[in-house]
Structure 1
């Protein structure tokens, strides 16, 4: 179980989510959802729990059966703050020597089709296969993501507060980012500030200086930051209630060494602005990706934009919808995702601008509001 303090949601919200999940499962022709610990479980009951070799799973029948949390007796206290009675969930505990997979099978009878959480470990998936006989197993992700993609007002407010909190960290970058320090030293200071500014912890800190900035998922290293470096800072983490921030800005430590930085960065800024401007109900995810990619390609940098334009965000940093070519998903109000084009020049430098945005009834709301210009810090 996690060590964070319990965050109790309104039981009415959770009941609605559980009812919608059961209805979505029925519509998908699935007899039950088997939800493992993780973000899907947190979405449905307000507690993520922990996944271990002992089985914990929420058994959510699509029909009229009673939902149950099947949990090892020694781990049940970690769920004590969840209002199981108000949610209509029975807690079924088991001890070492019991067969929890048979317990699950006994509650389901003879299902034809069950859907297991995408993150269920193979140990449990294979044991379910043995216990449930001829039942077809599918992934629960396609069912649950249809619910989680469309954030309600409380979720959007949490994402909005996460955006404000991570903006405060970016506003302090001049405290740490300077020549003579290593990426790792700067990263440690940023991670501490992420917590200081209201997050439960820092989930990731990328400090990509100089040529390391050309690697989009660089972490931190012992490289010493030099005058004139362009530095990509991509940071984020969850608030105590679980909703995540994720924001990238690009900095220069003194005037950039390379003469092409200003012009190339302006292309990136126009691309990011074009993509955000394309967001509204009725357009597709691939339309937003294309808006950014078009600007970058027309300027001659198409081969240096090497990832999708964005990803959904919520209880996971990366979730549906994905803003990528080939995704014809139509955007709807409540969908939240990043818009983060980048240009990466191998062995030289890179740059990325990332905001989290939410689709509104008639357009888009940006949840990050730090300047998009290249920030030049005193060296």
Structure 2
């Protein structure tokens, strides 16, 4: 897939229309996922201001430091017909944005904008209300196009290929860090541009959902939670968790792993248009709670995914948002017994016209190595 397909020119028009409908006068998008989503430009996050300005009406423009102008013009943003406004070291780019916009009542700031920039914009536009640009962009970003789903599917297949290699890396006597290094290299070799995270959580570390790696030596008979992902060359992300055991697992672990597997299957099977995000969480949580492990499932069931690993929608109790075709998110229930071990199974799932499609397809059975 090409940049033109992933970051279509029509997206800027859709964002401008959504900005007007939301009652905002403009969006100010600095380096980060919001800027990349709208323009395709993965700008460096610098103290020098780069900012895509999308007014509710009129022409959009990109403020860019002069020394970054060649990079901006070489990016997919060059196809959007933008006016690239290069500023020099002695200029005040915030004042330039304010002058070009004129008097405005409300602007949306990129959700990941540095506080330094938001405060400078506040000073340059006194009396202008600042809100999050996510209030406008979330509706667009949640609804993945066919091309975006294809990009997520490609990233999912690549991370599946890495999981198929993991049994060869896991051996008693190796440290989590040694295994993690092998996985890191394999993620890049599979076509990812960056590695976002590598979790290799053995034995009691498996009870900590966001443990990464340590110098702990993996012991015989220990479960190991492996949660891995990164940004594929398309800019879209992968994220998948599988649980392994180095030798025969403890009896109680095998018991609750079967419960976890049933819970993850139930949540994936519940995905379809018209159901709420919280109902997917409940589908997994009810199975785990009914088996007596409810207090050991300590996080939400999932998160949206796209050009960020974590984005909306969130699959959690209290989120009544209704699924629509194109929503993409993780389904990753877990059971964690403090001081002993833990387990998690995670797939990326896309809501389709009549159900859900799993984008990860390696075995969900407990893999014994």
Alignment TM class, shorter chain as reference: over 0.9
Shift of 1:107: 1.2
Report the equivalent of 2:198: 205
CA distance in 1, matches of 2:256, 2:6: 50
Within-5 A mapping of 1:187-202: 187-202=180-195
Structure-2 separation of matches of 1:346 and 1:86: 53
| Mapping 1:10-159, distance limit 5 Å | 10=4, 13-63=7-57, 65-82=58-75, 84=77, 86-159=79-152
Contact 1:84/1:91 (<8 A) preserved: no
Q: Does 1:294 align with 2:286?
A: yes
Looking at structure 2, the residues matched to 121 and 13 of structure 1 have their Cα atoms a distance apart, in angstroms, of: 24
What is the number of residues matched between the two proteins? 369
Distance 2:141 2:34 in 1: 9
- The alignment yields a C-alpha RMSD, in angstroms, of 1.3
TM-score (norm 2): 0.98
Unaligned stretches of 5+ residues in structure 2 = none
C-alpha distance in 1 between matches for 2:194 and 2:53: 30
Equivalent in the alignment of 2:296: 304
SS at match of 1:317: coil
**Is contact 1:204-1:236 (8 Å) kept?**
yes
CA separation in 1, counterparts of 2:176 and 2:207?
A: 14
**In structure 2, do the counterparts of structure 1 residues 195 and 85 end up closer, same or farther at CA, with 3 Å as the change threshold?**
closer
The answer to whether the 8 A contact 1:40-1:48 is kept is no
Superposed CA deviations along residues 342-376 of structure 1, whole A, max 9, x for unmatched, are 00000000000000010000000000001111111
Choose from 322, 325, 329 the match for 2:317: 325
Cα distance in 2 for partners of 1:306, 1:11 equals 39
**SS state at 1:260 partner:** helix
- 2:264 maps to 272
Give CA deviations for 1:225-253 in whole Å, capped at 9, x if unaligned: 00000000000111111111100000000
Q: After TM superposition, give the deviation of residue 84 of structure 1 in Å.
A: 5.0
TM-score, with structure 1 as normaliser: 0.95
**Which of 359, 366, 371 is the matching residue for 2:363?**
371
Residues 278/29 of structure 1: CA separation in 2 closer, same or farther (3 Å cut): same
1:12 deviates by 9.6
In 1: Cα distance, 2:133 partner to 2:70 partner: 26
Per-residue deviation, 1:50: 1.5
Q: Could you list the runs of 5+ residues in structure 1 that have no partner in the other structure?
A: 1-6
Give yes or no for contact 2:296–2:337 (8 Å, CA) kept in 1: yes
Name the SS for the 1:238 alignment partner: strand
Residue 337 in structure 1 maps to residue 326 in structure 2: no
The match for 2:178 is 185
Displacement after TM superposition at 1:9 (Å) = 1.6
1:348 aligns with 2:340: yes
